[in-house]
Structure 1
Amino acid sequence: MRTRRPRIRMSVRTRVLAALTLLSAMALTAAGVSAYSLERERSVARLDDSLQRSGEEIETLAAIGVDPETGEPFASVSAVLRTALSRVVPAPNEALAGLIDGEITHVPEVATSFRIEQDPELVAELAPTTGWQEPELFTVETSLRTYRVLALPVRTDPPGEEGAMVLAFDIDAEYQTLNDTFRTYALVAVASLAWTTIIAWFVVGQLLAPIKVLRSTADEVGSSDDLSRRIPVSGNDDLALLSETFNRMLARLEQAFASQRQLLDDAGHELRTPLTIVRGHLELMEPTDAEEVTSTRALALDELDRMNMLVEDLMTLARSRRPDFVTLAEVDIALLTDDVLVKASPLGERRWVMDALAEVQVPADGRRLTQALLQLASNAVKFSDEGSTIGIGSASEESEVRLWVRDEGSGIPAEDQARIFDRFERLDLTADGSGLGLPIVASIAQAHGGRVTLESAPGQGSTFVIHIPRPATEGPGSREISDESR
């Protein structure tokens, strides 16, 4: 059985710093190597240019010059070589020599950086140059050093001896200065890389500080279930956006957990009573008494229906926190209002009236809006007298659409108008219902980005209004309908 190796964990700071250091080292190395190669090529080009200029001077001397000893044109190769060596001043790391018939016969009298005749391997390589017909540049490597050489054949008229003038540069010595320069560059690059790494360690640490806070906050939330913690956001970079996203996620989680806890608390509180009633009646029921069995069965079924309605309402409130609670589409508000009036008419013997129709289409969830309006209509029937008027209508303004249900019922005191939208709040304890209808209406309005308002007074009825925001692309449009009964 193979044992798994423990994974080596590296912090983001270390990984970023390692990548930064590696990239910097590669950049400095590439820059140094490129510059070194270019300088070597330039050095060789500079040596070739110097050799060619010296060769041109010697060729000119041999062609049109005169022998300083006789004052006549050169009569021998030896005279050309002797005169050239006396006139050409060797550059640093340069040496000269004259050859006749493959042998070195003339050397400069001045001191040079090195002597051609002292390197037998070089002399052997230069021996054939006296028989060449054209000048040639080439490189010679010996055990002592590497040379860049110009071999210049020398001839006289009439023909006689075969000779050559040889000029050679010590390439190794030329490269030595360049090597010293780039050795210094390498030391400076290493020092710069070390300082860059040290500075980057602190800079990267500061840049990644929000991630450290993010991790510690996530650990604290995971260990304590405290979803109220938030990460401080500073700046406007990607890490700031990450912190804002994490904070929004915590807010959604906190809201979801709060809704879950509230759902469990509400369900436990509200279901306890009907369960206790059913259990009590079942325990006291006499199985042999048919009438009592029938009565207890009817009571149990009624309580079960009430619990089922309560669970449905609680589930609706729980789903109202989800993004998919409403599905937006273009809704014809006039058609929706008219449809709600038709569906609400069988709820009670009332005088059902269409107050107004908004001839407008808005992005909304028609099914949820119908649910909310029917809930308001059901409440209006519940708290109004038979034969009274219930009005349903809609109107459009520049920034919103309003849908309402009004009744001529008992009305609601001002001090109670705010709390009726709380869960399980019932002003009339004798009325049917779970106290979740108006909270569901408010949740539907909020899911559309809107709100619910109430205009009411004792003895003057109530008007519940759902406000739904709309894009301001068209002017307001609504059609008033007076006293239209259904």
Structure 2
Amino acid sequence: MTAQPDLVARVTLRSRLIITMVLLAVLALLASGAIVAVLQHRSIHGSVDDQLLRTRDELRVLAEQGIDPETGQAFAGPSELLHTFLARTVIGAAEGELAVVDGQVLWVASEDVPLRPEDDPDLVDHVMPLAAGDEIVVDTVRTDTSHYRVLVAPVQYPQSTGALVHVFDLDLTEAELRRTMTLYAAVAVGTVVLLVLVAWIAVGRLLRPIEELRKAADSIDERDLTTRVPVRGRDDLAALSATINRMLDRVQRSVEGQRQLLDDVGHELRTPITVVRGHMELVDAEDPVDVRDTRALVLDELDRMGVLVGDMLMLAKATESDFVQPRWFDIAALTDQVLEKARALGNRRWRLERIASTEAFLDPGRMTQAWLQLAANAVKYSEPGTAVTLGSALERGEVLMWVRDEGIGIEPDQLALVRERFGRTKAGAAHAQGAGLGLSIVESIMAAHGGRLDIESTVGEGSTFTLVLPLGPVDPADLEPTLKMEAI
């Protein structure tokens, strides 16, 4: 039931993007076509007017000279002048000429001229009054036959009057423009169709990560948290996919951490609860000694349960964003503070091997907790009076803080085990009690800082636990792989 609305929303988004692209393209093509049409139309009309004015000037020159170039004699009247002018004029396919003398069309262009203005009565009726005037007129005339741009140039002699009528058929003149714009419209339509096809494919590919993201989100449930969105390319959608994957990693770690916490709590608390319940059922309320012994045992088990619950809560909190609150802090001061606090952990020969004089970006409270945990482990797995050495140093942009003991050591094949939750070696379990959560807490603190815990150990000689910490701040994205190991 939920897939149908999601599909409609996705198609709608795709359609909206394509419609927007097509509308922008259509508007751009329309604007370009309109601009070209207007400019070309103005250019054509300007060219027509220029030609009419040149014709006017040529007629004026011939009239002012008043000499027939062929005979060398003066023109006797407007008829001879206009006849000579028409005979010498070369006109185009969209042009026509005629001569009016004494109110009558007397001369027309040769028969090879296609445009015949004398055949349009409306045009002739319009120019006759202008031909009888004394002013040169350039006018636009629209008749039932066509649309004209007309020059009427009167010529006056004492005994007679006449006029040259030069005509441009604007419909024929603009025919080429109309053909060009028709071709432009056809190309524009084809371009829009091609744009729709290309946009449909391109937008589909562009929205594919979103579709994959939707499918990944649909496939995630409490039983399967491993689905991730494929990251392709290096664009914004790829960055979004990577961000979503990191979010899914955090969700997976959180859910698996809760599962692990519940399993661990159920496993580890079952034994002390069983022990307490068993002794409480068997205690003899009338025997003060039995009551006192049972009370001491119950309190001891409850104390152990309290420590265990505190450690478990600490590990659960390690996945939260505010688990550490780092700031710039002096390593030398931190080293002195930890050494002074560690002296109270046990009767050992406490030594300071080296001290770093620098500042690092860390949470001093959490780092003190981790360092003292290592010191407490050193006391727990070594004999009274042996040496426990602390130190700090700066090497290659990293801060090193270590604890070295002379304890029982760890077998090489057991180093991975002691890093696990509740992981304890047989020798360690026989030497001292514990839940096996100390190093897990230390590694959680180091992971939150973008650091790590290094372990070097020799059986029977002792161990060195080193906290390795970046000197400056760490990008939170770089903490993901490290934190993942701690949360699971």
Shorter chain as denominator, the TM-score bin is 0.7 to 0.9
Question: Closer, same or farther in 2 for the Cα pair 1:415/1:82, shift >3 Å?
Answer: closer
Residue in 2 that maps onto 1:404 = 402
Given the alignment, which residue of 286, 305, 311 partners 1:307? Answer: 305
Question: In 1, Cα distance between the equivalents of 2:185 and 2:206?
Answer: 30
Q: Summarize the alignment of residues 154-165 of structure 1 with structure 2, pairs less than 5 Å apart.
A: 154-156=155-157, 159-165=158-164
Residue in 2 that maps onto 1:50 = 51
Question: In 2, Cα distance between the equivalents of 1:74 and 1:299?
Answer: 146
| 1:140 CA displacement | 1.8
Over aligned residues, Cα RMSD in angstroms? Answer: 3.2
Q: Summarize the alignment of residues 337-416 of structure 1 with structure 2, pairs less than 5 Å apart.
A: 337-416=335-414
| 1:43 CA displacement | 1.6
Whether the 8 Å contact between 1:391 and 1:407 is mirrored in structure 2 is yes
Question: Closer, same or farther in 2 for the Cα pair 1:251/1:9, shift >3 Å?
Answer: closer
Question: Closer, same or farther in 2 for the Cα pair 1:6/1:325, shift >3 Å?
Answer: closer
Residue in 2 that maps onto 1:180 = 179
| 1:114 CA displacement | 4.1
Aligned pair 1:226/2:224, yes or no? yes
| 1:420 CA displacement | 1.5
Residue in 2 that maps onto 1:457 = 458
Secondary structure in structure 2 of the residue aligned to 1:411: coil
Q: Summarize the alignment of residues 209-358 of structure 1 with structure 2, pairs less than 5 Å apart.
A: 209-222=208-221, 225-283=223-281, 299-358=297-356
- Which has the higher mean CA deviation after the structures are superposed, 38-47 or 300-309? 300-309
| 1:171 CA displacement | 0.8
Paired letter, 1:387: G
Paired letter, 1:105: V
| 1:285 CA displacement | 5.6
| 1:374 CA displacement | 1.0
Secondary structure in structure 1 of the residue aligned to 2:174: helix
Question: In 1, Cα distance between the equivalents of 2:439 and 2:290?
Answer: 37
Q: What TM-score results when the alignment is normalised by the length of structure 1?
A: 0.84
Residue in 1 that maps onto 2:477 = none
Question: In 1, Cα distance between the equivalents of 2:133 and 2:295?
Answer: 129
**Aligned residues with identical type, % of pairs:** 45
Q: For 1:390-414, what per-residue CA distance to the aligned partner results, in whole angstroms no more than 9, with x for missing partners? A: 2222222234222122233333333
Q: For 1:116-152, what per-residue CA distance to the aligned partner results, in whole angstroms no more than 9, with x for missing partners? A: 3443443343234235554332212233322111122
Question: In 1, Cα distance between the equivalents of 2:133 and 2:278?
Answer: 129
Question: Closer, same or farther in 2 for the Cα pair 1:8/1:122, shift >3 Å?
Answer: farther
Question: Closer, same or farther in 2 for the Cα pair 1:425/1:91, shift >3 Å?
Answer: closer
Aligned pair 1:22/2:43, yes or no? no
Question: Closer, same or farther in 2 for the Cα pair 1:108/1:339, shift >3 Å?
Answer: same
Whether the 8 Å contact between 2:455 and 2:465 is mirrored in structure 1 is yes
Whether the 8 Å contact between 1:149 and 1:168 is mirrored in structure 2 is yes
- Which has the higher mean CA deviation after the structures are superposed, 49-58 or 199-208? 199-208
Question: Closer, same or farther in 2 for the Cα pair 1:7/1:372, shift >3 Å?
Answer: closer
Question: Closer, same or farther in 2 for the Cα pair 1:10/1:73, shift >3 Å?
Answer: farther
Question: In 2, Cα distance between the equivalents of 1:51 and 1:295?
Answer: 129
Whether the 8 Å contact between 1:97 and 1:104 is mirrored in structure 2 is no
- Which has the higher mean CA deviation after the structures are superposed, 30-39 or 9-18? 9-18
| 1:60 CA displacement | 1.4
Paired letter, 2:410: I
Secondary structure in structure 1 of the residue aligned to 2:9: coil
| 1:9 CA displacement | 3.4
Whether the 8 Å contact between 1:104 and 1:117 is mirrored in structure 2 is no
Secondary structure in structure 2 of the residue aligned to 1:245: helix
Question: Closer, same or farther in 2 for the Cα pair 1:429/1:259, shift >3 Å?
Answer: farther
Q: For 1:308-353, what per-residue CA distance to the aligned partner results, in whole angstroms no more than 9, with x for missing partners? A: 3222211222232344332332221111111011112222233322
Residue in 2 that maps onto 1:83 = 84
Question: In 2, Cα distance between the equivalents of 1:73 and 1:225?
Answer: 114
- Which has the higher mean CA deviation after the structures are superposed, 402-411 or 199-208? 199-208
Question: In 1, Cα distance between the equivalents of 2:51 and 2:101?
Answer: 24
Question: In 2, Cα distance between the equivalents of 1:179 and 1:415?
Answer: 89
Q: For 1:355-393, what per-residue CA distance to the aligned partner results, in whole angstroms no more than 9, with x for missing partners? A: 221122222221111101111222222233333332222
Q: Which runs of 5+ in 2 are unaligned?
A: 473-488
Residue in 1 that maps onto 2:200 = 201
Q: What TM-score results when the alignment is normalised by the length of structure 2?
A: 0.83
Q: How many pairs were matched up?
A: 463
Q: For 1:194-239, what per-residue CA distance to the aligned partner results, in whole angstroms no more than 9, with x for missing partners? A: 23433443344344444433333332234x7433233444433334
Whether the 8 Å contact between 1:86 and 1:108 is mirrored in structure 2 is no
Question: In 2, Cα distance between the equivalents of 1:44 and 1:215?
Answer: 60
- Which has the higher mean CA deviation after the structures are superposed, 424-433 or 336-345? 424-433
| 1:165 CA displacement | 1.6
Residue in 1 that maps onto 2:142 = 141
In terms of fraction of residues, the more helix-rich structure is 2
Question: Closer, same or farther in 2 for the Cα pair 1:165/1:306, shift >3 Å?
Answer: same
Question: Closer, same or farther in 2 for the Cα pair 1:376/1:77, shift >3 Å?
Answer: same
Question: In 2, Cα distance between the equivalents of 1:153 and 1:290?
Answer: 146
Question: In 1, Cα distance between the equivalents of 2:279 and 2:131?
Answer: 133
